[in-house]
Chain A
Amino acid sequence: MSYHFRKTALGAVLAAVLGFASAAQAADLSGAGATFPYPVYSQWAKAYKEKTGTGLNYQAIGSGGGIKQIEARTVTFGASDKPLGGDELTKNTLVQFPTVMGGIVPVVNIKGIKPGELVIDGTTLAEIYMGKITKWNDAAIKKLNPKVKLPDAAIAVVHRSDGSGTTFNFTYYLAAVDADWKSNIGVNTSVQWPVGVGAKGNQGVAANVGQTQNSIGYVEYAYALQNKMTYTDMVNKAGKRVAPKAAAFAAAAKNADWKSQPGFGVILADQPGDKSWPMTAATFILMHSDAKDGKASAQVLKFFNWAYAHGDKMAAKLDYIPMPSSVVKDVKKEWSEIKGEDGKSVWKASM
Chain B
Amino acid sequence: MSIAVHQTFPNPAGRKPASGETIFRGLTLAAALIVLATLLGVFVSLFLGAWPALHRYGLGFFVIQAWNPVTEKFGALAPLYGTIVTSIIAMIIAVPVGLGIAIFLTETCPRPLRRPIGIAIELLAGVPSIIYGIWGLFVFAPFMQTTVQPFLIDTLGTVPGIGDFFAGPPYGIGMLTAGLILAIMVLPFIASIAREVFLTVPDMLREAAYGMGMTRWEVNRSIVIPHVRSALVGGTMLALGRALGETMAVTFVIGNAPRIATSILQPGTTISAAIANEFTEATTNLYTSSLIALGLVLFVITFLVLAAAQLMLQRIKRRAGE
User: Are A and B part of the same complex?
Assistant: yes
Report which A residues bind B (CB closer than 8 A). Answer: 61-65, 67-68, 153-154, 156, 161-164, 185-193, 196-200, 207-208, 211-213
Instruction: Determine the chain A residues whose CB is within 8 A of the CB of B267 once the complex forms.
Output: 196-198
Given contacts A191-B69, A197-B267, A208-B137, contact A163 B283 (CB under 8 A): yes
Q: Is the CB of A212 within 8 A of B145?
A: yes
Instruction: Determine the chain A residues whose CB is within 8 A of the CB of B168 once the complex forms.
Output: 154
Judged by DSSP, the binding face of B is loop
**In the docked arrangement, what's the CA distance between A284 and B18, Å?**
68
A-B contact count (CB 8 A): 94
Q: Write the B59-81 contact mask toward A (1 if CB under 8 angstroms, else 0).
A: 00000001111110000000000
A-B contact pairs, 8 of them (CB 8 A): A68-B283, A161-B269, A162-B281, A163-B278, A189-B283, A192-B70, A212-B141, A212-B145
Instruction: Determine the chain B residues whose CB is within 8 A of the CB of A207 once the complex forms.
Output: 137-138
**In the docked arrangement, what's the CA distance between A207 and B172, Å?**
13
Q: Which range holds the interface residue count of chain B? A: 20 to 34
B142 part of interface (Cβ distance < 8 Å) = yes
Report the nearest A residue to B251, measured CB to CB. Answer: A200
Instruction: Determine the chain B residues whose CB is within 8 A of the CB of A208 once the complex forms.
Output: 137, 173
Report the nearest A residue to B72, measured CB to CB. Answer: A188
Binds A, one of B30-38, B180-188, B203-211, B254-262: B254-262
Instruction: Determine the chain A residues whose CB is within 8 A of the CB of B141 once the complex forms.
Output: 211-212
Instruction: Determine the chain B residues whose CB is within 8 A of the CB of A163 once the complex forms.
Output: 69, 278, 280-283
Q: Is the CB of B70 within 8 A of A156?
A: no
**In the docked arrangement, what's the CA distance between A61 and B251, Å?**
18
Q: Is the CB of A198 within 8 A of B69?
A: no
**In the docked arrangement, what's the CA distance between A197 and B267, Å?**
6
B226 part of interface (Cβ distance < 8 Å) = no
**In the docked arrangement, what's the CA distance between A198 and B278, Å?**
11
B165 part of interface (Cβ distance < 8 Å) = no
**In the docked arrangement, what's the CA distance between A3 and B138, Å?**
52
Instruction: Determine the chain A residues whose CB is within 8 A of the CB of B169 once the complex forms.
Output: 153-154, 156
Q: Is the CB of B256 within 8 A of A199?
A: yes
Report the nearest B residue to A200, measured CB to CB. Answer: B277
Q: How far is the CB of B141 from chain A (nearest CB, A)?
A: 6
Q: Is the CB of A185 within 8 A of B281?
A: no
CB contact list, B227-252 vs A, under 8 A: 251
Q: Is the CB of A65 within 8 A of B138?
A: no
B171 part of interface (Cβ distance < 8 Å) = yes
Instruction: Determine the chain B residues whose CB is within 8 A of the CB of A65 once the complex forms.
Output: 280-281
Taking a contact as CB atoms closer than 8 A, the residue among A154, A164, A212 that contacts B281 in the complex is A164
Taking a contact as CB atoms closer than 8 A, the residue among A67, A186, A189, A198 that contacts B255 in the complex is A198
Instruction: Determine the chain B residues whose CB is within 8 A of the CB of A200 once the complex forms.
Output: 251, 256, 276-277
Report the nearest B residue to A162, measured CB to CB. Answer: B277
Q: How far is the CB of B66 from chain A (nearest CB, A)?
A: 7
Q: How far is the CB of A268 from chain B (nearest CB, A)?
A: 21
**In the docked arrangement, what's the CA distance between A154 and B145, Å?**
13
Q: How far is the CB of A143 from chain B (nearest CB, A)?
A: 23
Q: Write the B263-282 contact mask toward A (1 if CB under 8 angstroms, else 0).
A: 00001010000001110111
Report the nearest A residue to B146, measured CB to CB. Answer: A213
**In the docked arrangement, what's the CA distance between A164 and B251, Å?**
17
Instruction: Determine the chain A residues whose CB is within 8 A of the CB of B282 once the complex forms.
Output: 64, 163
Instruction: Determine the chain B residues whose CB is within 8 A of the CB of A190 once the complex forms.
Output: 69, 278, 281
Given contacts A196-B267, A212-B171, A212-B172, contact A62 B70 (CB under 8 A): no
Q: Is the CB of A61 within 8 A of B280?
A: yes
**In the docked arrangement, what's the CA distance between A170 and B206, Å?**
67
Instruction: Determine the chain B residues whose CB is within 8 A of the CB of A197 once the complex forms.
Output: 171, 173-174, 255-257, 267
**In the docked arrangement, what's the CA distance between A188 and B171, Å?**
26
**In the docked arrangement, what's the CA distance between A213 and B169, Å?**
11
Given contacts A187-B70, A192-B258, A199-B256, contact A67 B277 (CB under 8 A): no
Q: How far is the CB of B55 from chain A (nearest CB, A)?
A: 22
**In the docked arrangement, what's the CA distance between A59 and B169, Å?**
38
Taking a contact as CB atoms closer than 8 A, the residue among A153, A189, A191, A199 that contacts B68 in the complex is A191
